[in-house]
């Protein structure tokens, strides 16, 4: 049934020693993405992974070391380049390679090295969609139409994305915005959130993945008061995935949201060229 939550096993305690390395991992994402302090960020990330392995050996946690290693591998790959919005041809293909590797390497590491199947991409899970799910898709479009132009234009953050005037620039922006949106779900939700959910209560795992998610989105360009939007969005995406078991659904939600983002950027960069917004 569409409303059945993913089964991650029994209840998790509100406090566990594993929270310490998990929070260190979240802190490393803040250093790596918004602040771009790479070496200290990698050191904190290594400390998180090392502590998780030590806790496993001490019998305080189970499989936390392998799971944080899988997540860390993706974070290291993504942080190796700037993810600030740039749709120049060279960066366009470079980021495509990096984002692909940052999903493929954790997946292969999990399957082939740690012999685990928690990282998976349940494309048709939870089908058919319930009426509330269809209603939420409509709400995403309406809320995005109302809120995103106000955010992008009044804060000026649309300038964090490159000016696009020619058809090929607009095309690359469209592909880039949607590709990053798809990657967000594959990595932050299907990898980070799913692995953390093995060790922590749902709300904690969701909050932890949201720290990493929002840190990445800040560097991407969602700055100024953007976290007021990206934090609830990240939390809702995690909740929806746990509720629906459907990558297809959370991806649809995200891409509808990103469609509005794309249109707003084109609108703001071209003197109101998309006359469907209130600003």
The token pair that represents 233 in the structure block: 């969005």
Give the model confidence (pLDDT) of 126-176 as tens digits: 889 999 999 999 999 999 999 999 999 999 999 999 999 999 999 999 999
Other beta carbons within 10 Å of 125: 17
pLDDT of residue 10: 60
Quote the distance between the C-alpha of residue 97 and its chain's center: 17
212 assigned to some structural domain: yes
User: What's the domain count of the chain?
Assistant: 1
The residues near 180 (Cβ < 8 Å, ≥ 6 apart) are 95, 99, 220, 258
Place 124 in a pLDDT band, splitting at 50, 70 and 90: confident
Nearest Cα to Cα of residue 74 among 31, 110, 44: 110
pLDDT band per the 50, 70, 90 thresholds, residue 7: very low
Report DSSP letters for the chain, one per residue.
-TTPPP---S---S--TTHHHHHHHHHHHHHHTTS--HHHHHHHHHHHHHHHHHHHHTTSSSSHHHHHHHHHHHHHHHHTS--S----HHHHHHHHHHHHHHHHHHHHIIIIIS----S---TTTTPSPPHHHHHHHHHHHHHHHHHHHHHHHHH-GGGGSPP--SHHHHHHHHHHHHHHHHHHIIIIIIIIIHHHTTTS-HHHHHHHHHHHHHHHHHHHT--TTTHHHHHHHHHHHHHHHHHH--HHHHHHHHHHHHHHHHHHHHHHHTTS-STTS--
Q: Taking residues 71-85, what's their average pLDDT?
A: 96
The whole-number pLDDT of residue 11 equals 75
The answer as to whether 262 is a domain residue is yes
Distance CA 68, CA 53 (A): 9
Query: What digits encode the pLDDT tens for the residues 202-249?
Result: 999 999 999 999 999 999 999 999 999 999 999 999 999 999 999 999
Whether 1 and 237 have beta carbons less than 8 Å apart is answered as: no
pLDDT attached to residue 142:
97
Q: What is the pLDDT of residues 85-114, one digit of tens each?
A: 889 899 999 999 999 999 999 999 999 999
- Model confidence at 5, pLDDT cuts 50, 70, 90, reads very low
Domain membership flag for residue 57: yes
Read off φ and ψ for residue 86, nearest 5 degrees. Answer: -155, 115
Q: 67-76 in b/e burial notation, b at 16+ Cβ within 10 A?
A: bbbbbbbbbb
The domain containing residue 24 runs over which residues? 19-269
Q: Is residue 54 in some structural domain?
A: yes
In a domain, 3, yes or no: no
The residue-averaged pLDDT of 55-67 equals: 97
Q: Is residue 263 part of a domain?
A: yes
Instruction: Kindly calculate the radius of gyration of the chain based on its CA atoms and give it in whole angstroms.
Output: 19
Check residue 3 and give its pLDDT.
Answer: 38
Query: What per-residue confidence (pLDDT) applies to 126?
Result: 80
Average pLDDT, the chain: 94
Confirm whether 260 is domain-assigned: yes
What lies within 8 Å, CB to CB, of 66 at 6+ separation is 110, 114, 116
Query: pLDDT-derived band of residue 31, with 50, 70 and 90 as boundaries?
Result: very high
Instruction: Name the least confident of 6-20, 41-55, 191-205.
Output: 6-20
How many CB atoms lie under 10 A from the CB of residue 33?
25
Entry pTM: 0.93
Percent of residues, the chain, with pLDDT higher than 90: 89
Residue 197 lies in a domain: yes
């Amino acid at each position: 049934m569409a409303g059945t939550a993913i089964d991650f096993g029994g209840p998790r305690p509100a406090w566990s020693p594993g929270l310490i390395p998990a929070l260190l991992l979240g802190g490393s994402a803040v250093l790596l993405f918004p602040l771009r302090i790479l070496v200290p960020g990698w050191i904190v990330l290594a400390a998180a992974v090392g502590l998780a392995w030590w806790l496993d050996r001490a019998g305080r946690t189970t499989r936390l070391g392998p799971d944080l290693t899988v997540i860390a591998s993706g974070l290291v790959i993504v942080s190796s380049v700037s993810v600030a919005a740039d749709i120049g041809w060279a960066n366009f293909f470079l980021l495509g390679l990096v984002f692909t590797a940052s999903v493929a390497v954790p997946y292969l590491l999990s399957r082939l090295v740690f012999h685990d199947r928690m990282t998976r991409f349940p494309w048709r899970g939870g089908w058919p969609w319930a009426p509330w799910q269809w209603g939420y898709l409509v709400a995403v479009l309406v809320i995005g139409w109302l809120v995103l132009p106000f955010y992008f234009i009044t804060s000026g953050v649309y300038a964090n994305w490159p000016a696009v005037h020619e058809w090929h620039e607009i095309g690359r922006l469209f592909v880039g915005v949607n590709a990053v949106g798809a990657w967000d779900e594959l990595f932050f939700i299907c990898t980070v959130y799913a692995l953390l959910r093995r060790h922590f209560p749902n709300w904690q795992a969701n909050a932890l993945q949201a720290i990493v998610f929002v840190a990445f989105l800040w560097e991407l360009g969602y700055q100024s008061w953007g976290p007021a939007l990206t934090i609830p969005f990240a939390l809702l995406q995690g909740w929806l995935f746990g509720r629906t078991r459907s990558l297809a659904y959370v991806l649809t939600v995200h891409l509808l949201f990103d469609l509005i983002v794309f249109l707003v950027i084109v609108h703001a960069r071209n003197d109101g060229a998309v006359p469907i917004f209130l600003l």
